[in-house]
Amino acid sequence: MQFNFEKYLGLHEPALHLQSRRAQILAANVANADTPKFKARDIDFKAAMQQASEYPKGRGPLEQTSAMHIQPPQFANGFEVLYRNPLQPSVDGNTVETETETAAFMENSMRYMASLRFLGDKLNTLTTAIKGQ
């Protein structure tokens, strides 16, 4: 009988990749909080996970068929990066709201840690099954 790691690990692997990329985007938002005209960006996590379940390996409806293809900058691992609508517009055109970005970063960190824990538990279960202990 053949064992399929992708089925066994489920969506935790693409979730880790997505959460890692989202952490980079949110960190860039916080780093540019004082940059005039900087537009805060984020990933719609729910939509991206839905897309990951429909298209395996983080591929979107468009698939890279050649190593020469360049991925557009508005995509992160095949998922669209959106601009965040500010709650309070600023005079200099910057849409970064530090409190919102910090909260989103902390939530993303908690999700990342949970995904790591789930993956670790699955791998420990698999190791136990292999060793027979």
pLDDT in tens, 66-85: 777 665 555 555 677 889 88
With H, G, I as helix, E, B as strand and everything else as coil, classify residue 83. strand
Q: By mean pLDDT, which of 47-56, 61-70, 88-97, 120-129 is the weakest?
A: 61-70
The CA distance from 109 to 53, in Å, is: 21
Contacts of 94 (CB under 8 A, 6+ apart): 32, 33, 34, 35, 36, 37, 38, 39
pTM here? 0.75
What residue segments make up the domains of the chain, in order of their start?
6-131
What backbone phi and psi angles, to 5 degrees, belong to 90? -105, 165
With H, G, I as helix, E, B as strand and everything else as coil, classify residue 82. strand
The dihedral through the CA atoms of 103, 80, 49, 59 has a sign that is negative
Q: 11: closest CA among 56, 61, 59, 77?
A: 56
Q: 90: closest CA among 34, 9, 14?
A: 34
Confidence band of 1 (pLDDT split at 50, 70, 90): low
Confidence at residue 39, expressed as pLDDT on a 0 to 100 scale: 94
Q: By mean pLDDT, which of 43-47, 52-56, 88-92, 124-128 is the weakest?
A: 52-56
Q: Note the pLDDT tens digit of each residue in 7-16.
A: 777 777 888 8
85-110 mean pLDDT: 92
Confidence at residue 56, expressed as pLDDT on a 0 to 100 scale: 58
Do residues 37 and 92 lie in contact, with contact meaning Cβ atoms separated by under 8 Å?
yes
Q: Note the pLDDT tens digit of each residue in 26-73.
A: 999 999 999 999 999 998 888 877 777 776 554 555 566 777 766 555
With H, G, I as helix, E, B as strand and everything else as coil, classify residue 57. helix
